[in-house]
Amino acid sequence: MPTELDNLKLRLREFAKERDWDQFHSPKNFSMAMIVECAELVEHFQWLTDDQSKELPADTLKEVRLEMADIFLYLIRLADKLDVNLIDAANDKIKLNALKYPIEKSKGLATKYNKL
């Protein structure tokens, strides 16, 4: 049974096909587009304090939400192009992080794994 992520991937694939955009949809282009969208997301937080970043005004939150969607959609298309299962990749990464950041060494710390 297809998941919501599978359905979204297929919708995006069809959306691009209908517009003949697949010719532009290379992994290189998606990775570049994604970093641009990440920069647009960061702009909303650039000069805020930590507390301000947690309590965004409604209009800013609406814009942030759309930037997050852009990033997510590009990531889904990139994964589709490279035949990467994002759920499997995320689960694998969590397992790797658990090894790199054991609780007894990393709890309550923001220290990088190679400095623990």
On whether both 75 and 90 belong to a single domain, the answer is no
Task: Report how far apart, in Å, the C-alpha atoms of 16 and of each of 22, 52, 65 are.
Answer: 6, 37, 22
Domain identity same for 79 and 94: no
Q: What is the CATH number of the domain that holds 73?
A: 1.10.287.1080
For residues 48 and 30, membership in a common domain is answered with yes
Q: State the residue for tokens 């994604």.
A: 34
Concatenate the DSSP letters of all residues of 56-68 into one string.
--HHHHHHHHHHH
User: What is the reported pLDDT for 113?
Assistant: 86
**What is the domain range of residue 102?**
85-116
Distance CA 49, CA 116 (A): 28
Q: Please determine, for residue 114, whether its predicted confidence score (pLDDT) is greater than 90.
A: no
Residue ranges of the alpha helices (H) in the chain? 4-18, 27-43, 50-54, 58-82, 86-100, 103-106
Q: Are residues 65 and 103 in the same domain?
A: no
pLDDT (tens digit per residue) in 55-87: 999 999 999 999 999 999 999 999 999 999 999
> Which element (helix H / strand E) includes 110?
none
CA distances from 116 to 93, 95, 99 (A): 19, 18, 12
Number of domains composing the chain: 2
- pLDDT for 77 equals 98
The 10s digit of each residue's pLDDT in 5-60 is 999 999 999 999 999 999 999 999 999 999 999 999 999 999 999 999 999 999 99
Same domain, 66 and 15: yes
Closest CA to 21 of 4, 6, 36, 33: 33
Q: Determine the pLDDT at residue 90.
A: 98
What per-residue confidence (pLDDT) applies to 104?
A: 92
Residues 23, 59 share a domain: yes
Identify the pLDDT of residue 15. Answer: 98
